[in-house]
Amino acid sequence: MEPNPYASSGAAPAAESQSGVKWRFPAIHPEGRKFGAIAIGITLLFWVLGWKPLAWLMAGVSIWVFAFFRDPVRATPQGQDLLVAPADGLITLIQRVPPPREIAGEEGIGSGLMTRVSIFMSVFDVHINRTPISGTVRQVVYISGKFINADLDKASEDNERQHIVVERADGLRIGFTQIAGLVARRIVPFVKPGDVVAAGQRIGLIRFGSRVDIYLPEGTAPRVTLGQRTVAGETVIAKLGESEAVSGIFQ
């Protein structure tokens, strides 16, 4: 994670903030380089064999593979009570549900009903996931399962998934779940219990289409609406203790 030169003093001066930020080409995460190399190898093999149409098709697949594993830099809003989006994608579900049994109870995120915000990632979205808050990773629980469409409600209970619980210094715990989708076949963690993470820090990825659920504690309403797109590490999902939900319109 790159340091923020204005973290200690608040917002950057207007002139510096306008001239100091430049677009950069997203890096490719190391996890994706081997897949890209395989796709390029197949492309070259088809070309050498004279199968030009297939070679051009695989060239397009190669570009898509590298794009899938892109890992852009994100500017994470700073604030003690802000929860930032753990994933890029489309908000498809906002529901009141009990927490997953694997991370429920006193040692987890509690047992009462919570607001679950589900973010669906298509195969065209960035698939690097990030932690919504700063703190210490208390739980990383992997559960094997099915590979049904991650856009469906029952994917939260049926699909391959991984729960992560992060605890702030004041004891508040936030849980979120990486869920494999119809095409996804592996969830790759970057963290383990005991690791200290900063809000917006990379914590893992899911290969090839999936979903991430975040569970908001009692008394906290989402600042996002159904149909809204989120940017991992940047979009503010909620502010802790803020109970007034927002609404939106399609236009």
Q: What does DSSP assign to residue 53?
A: H
Q: Are strands 27-28 and 210-216 parallel, antiparallel or unpaired?
A: unpaired
Q: Is the pLDDT confidence value at 6 over 50?
A: no
The catalytic residue among 19, 62, 210, 247 is 210
Range 111-114 contact pairs with CB under 8 angstroms and sequence separation of 24 or more: 112/218, 113/218, 114/215, 114/216, 114/217, 114/218
Q: For residue 157, what pLDDT is reported?
A: 59
Range with lowest mean pLDDT among 26-30, 134-138, 198-202, 234-238: 26-30
Question: Tens digits of per-residue pLDDT, 116-171?
Answer: 999 999 888 998 999 999 999 999 999 886 555 445 454 455 668 899 999 999 99
- Model pTM? 0.81
Q: How confident is the model at residue 183 (pLDDT cuts 50, 70, 90)?
A: low
Active-site residue flag, 210: yes
Question: Tens digits of per-residue pLDDT, 68-119?
Answer: 888 999 999 998 899 999 999 999 999 999 999 999 988 889 988 999 999 9
Domain boundaries, the chain: 11-73, 82-239
CATH class of the structural domain 82-239: mainly beta
Q: How confident is the model at residue 12 (pLDDT cuts 50, 70, 90)?
A: very low
Total residues found in the chain within this entry: 251
Q: For residue 159, what pLDDT is reported?
A: 67
Q: Is the pLDDT confidence value at 180 over 90?
A: no
Question: Tens digits of per-residue pLDDT, 30-51?
Answer: 877 888 899 999 999 999 999 9
Range 212-228 average pLDDT: 94
CB contact at 8 A, 161 and 153: no
Q: For residue 65, what pLDDT is reported?
A: 86
